[in-house]
């Protein structure tokens, strides 16, 4: 499918940006940088904007989403905005009873653990079919459009939670340290597990597609918890669902980033699931990742823990990350995970300035 007329990649406002060039493997003159969780609690302007709203309310207010998405671009001068949202937003819009409790995370009214639980999940339909889920995604499309209005020529990244991470929350009923219930279901009842993964893959994929068709110039699939799996189980029980999620945007000419934490043992398999660029966490040096993923643009992998160190240590670490990133065809500097809530915004701004000056 051809991207809609007026899309930033069609109009040319984003295609020449350092971010898009790097994600396509064309090393730009200036190394691009953005930060996962760059829009959030580390910014005082975010805390001010969020006063009086719950997380889900904020994610479903297009004007507020646009403002929060643009805040780190204004403050830090990063090379991309990433849509302010949450991985459970598509589940909520589909009709799943989920809330986001402050200090806890997503909490589901009823865990999904049986064949009947999976069968009772809301119907999703197909992109553009005008069904209930498709109509509910209009608020996401509006948020993307409003964000583009504030970002100007800075490209917007869309994102979704990967099927395993979504399913892990749904099976456990909320956050878990070991995802034991999800891993147990995967082994004890693989047919039910596959049904849940297929549903989560379609929810994530349709969420990504809505963002792209509304104007996002790249997408990232986050698999926060999949590093808890051994490789054979990932390949057998999770990779096909991630590929299914990516398939919803595979006909659209946008870069697809795949990222997970503690996934050094899964890099090749995650890349094969449909990514065109790979996000690398803190456990794998970028030059090693480049050796294992020849020809693949890389993103990462500043250690978030370094952000509280003296500037001399931060600078040395950032320079080392950038040096190792030269082994890849192109490199987008990012953290190896998200910005901690207590990070000093001034430090992030200095890192952007340092990377742009290298």
CA 252 to chain centre: 17
**Residue 255 above 90 pLDDT?**
yes
Could you tell me the pLDDT band of residue 131, with boundaries at 50, 70 and 90?
Answer: confident
Strand partners, 100: 106
Q: In which residue are the tokens 């994600």 written?
A: 23
- Does residue 215 sit within a domain? yes
| Token pair of 244 as six digits | 């299914």
Residues 50, 4: Cα–Cα separation, whole Å: 32
Q: Is 244 a catalytic residue?
A: no
Residues 46, 113: Cα–Cα separation, whole Å: 37
pLDDT in tens, 194-235: 999 999 999 999 999 999 999 999 999 999 899 999 999 999
- Does residue 128 sit within a domain? yes
Q: Is 183 a catalytic residue?
A: no
Q: Is 209 a catalytic residue?
A: no
pLDDT in tens, 13-68: 888 999 999 999 999 999 999 999 999 999 999 999 999 999 999 999 999 999 99
Q: Is 169 a catalytic residue?
A: yes
**Catalytic hit among 21, 46, 61, 169:** 169
| Token pair of 106 as six digits | 């997503």
Output the CA–CA distances (angstroms, integers) from residue 7 to 12, 15, 81, 136, 197, in the order listed.
8, 10, 16, 21, 31
At residue 99, the pLDDT reads 96
**Catalytic hit among 50, 74, 233, 350:** 50
**Catalytic hit among 27, 37, 74, 233:** 37
- Does residue 54 sit within a domain? yes
| Token pair of 248 as six digits | 């919803």
In this prediction, residues 144-149 reach a mean pLDDT of 98
Q: Is 86 a catalytic residue?
A: yes
**Catalytic hit among 61, 79, 86, 303:** 86
Instruction: Please tell me what DSSP assigns to residue 327.
Output: T
At residue 127, the pLDDT reads 80
CATH number at residue 225: 3.20.20.210
At residue 120, the pLDDT reads 97
Quick one: CA torsion of 352, 353, 355, 358, rounded to 10 degrees?
170
Q: Which of 62-76, 122-136, 161-175, 247-261 has the lowest average pLDDT?
A: 122-136
Domain that holds residue 256: 8-357
- Does residue 137 sit within a domain? yes
- Does residue 1 sit within a domain? no
At residue 177, the pLDDT reads 81
Residues 159, 253: Cα–Cα separation, whole Å: 16
Residues 45, 51: Cα–Cα separation, whole Å: 10
Burial class (CB in 10 A: 0-12, 13-18, 19+), 81: buried
The DSSP result for 117-179, as a single string, is HHHTSPP---TTS--HHHHHTHHHHHHHHHHHHHHTTS-EEEEEE-HHHHHHHHHHTS--SS-
**Catalytic hit among 24, 27, 30, 41:** 41
pLDDT in tens, 76-109: 999 999 999 999 999 999 999 999 998 899 999 9
Residues 208, 201: Cα–Cα separation, whole Å: 10
pLDDT in tens, 283-322: 999 999 999 999 999 999 999 999 999 999 999 999 999 9
Phi then psi for residue 156, to 5 deg, are -110, 135
How many domains would you assign to the chain? 1
- Does residue 122 sit within a domain? yes
- Does residue 41 sit within a domain? yes
- Does residue 227 sit within a domain? yes
Pair type for strands 218-223 and 256-260: parallel
Q: Indicate yes or no: pTM above 0.75.
A: yes
**In the Cβ-directed half-sphere of 279, how many Cα atoms lie within 13 Å?**
26
């Amino acid at each position: 499918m051809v991207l809609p007329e007026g899309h930033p990649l069609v109009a040319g406002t984003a295609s020449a940006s350092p971010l898009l060039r790097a994600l396509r493997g064309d090393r730009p003159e200036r190394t691009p940088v953005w930060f996962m969780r760059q829009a959030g609690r580390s910014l005082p302007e975010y805390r001010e904007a969020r006063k009086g709203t719950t997380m889900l309310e904020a994610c479903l207010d297009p004007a507020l989403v646009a403002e929060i998405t643009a805040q780190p671009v204004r403050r830090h001068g990063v090379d991309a905005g990433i849509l302010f949202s949450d991985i459970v937003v598509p589940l909520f819009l589909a009709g799943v009873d989920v809330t986001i409790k402050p200090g806890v995370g997503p909490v589901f009214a009823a865990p999904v653990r049986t064949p009947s639980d999976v069968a009772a999940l809301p119907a999703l339909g197909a992109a553009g079919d005008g069904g209930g889920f498709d109509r509910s995604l209009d608020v996401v499309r509006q948020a993307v459009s409003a964000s583009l209005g504030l970002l100007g020529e800075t490209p917007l990244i869309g994102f979704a939670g990967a099927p395993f991470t979504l399913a892990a929350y749904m099976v456990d009923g909320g956050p878990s340290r070991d995802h034991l219930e999800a891993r147990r279901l995967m082994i004890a009842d693989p047919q039910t597990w596959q049904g849940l993964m297929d549903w989560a893959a379609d929810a994530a994929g349709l969420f990504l597609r809505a963002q792209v068709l509304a104007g996002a110039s790249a997408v990232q699939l986050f698999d926060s918890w999949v590093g808890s799996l051994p490789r054979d189980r990932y390949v057998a029980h999770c990779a096909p669902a991630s590929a299914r999620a990516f398939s919803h945007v595979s006909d659209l000419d946008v870069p697809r980033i795949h990222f997970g934490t503690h996934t050094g043992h899964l890099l090749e398999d995650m890349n094969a699931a449909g990514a065109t660029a790979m996000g690398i966490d803190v456990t794998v040096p970028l030059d090693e990742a480049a050796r294992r993923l020849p020809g693949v643009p890389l993103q990462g992998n500043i250690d978030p823990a370094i952000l509280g160190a003296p500037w001399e240590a931060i600078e040395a670490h950032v320079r080392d990350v950038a040096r190792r990133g030269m082994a890849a065809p192109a490199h987008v500097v990012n953290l190896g995970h998200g910005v901690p809530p207590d990070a000093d915004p001034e430090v992030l701004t200095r890192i952007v300035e340092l990377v742009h000056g290298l």
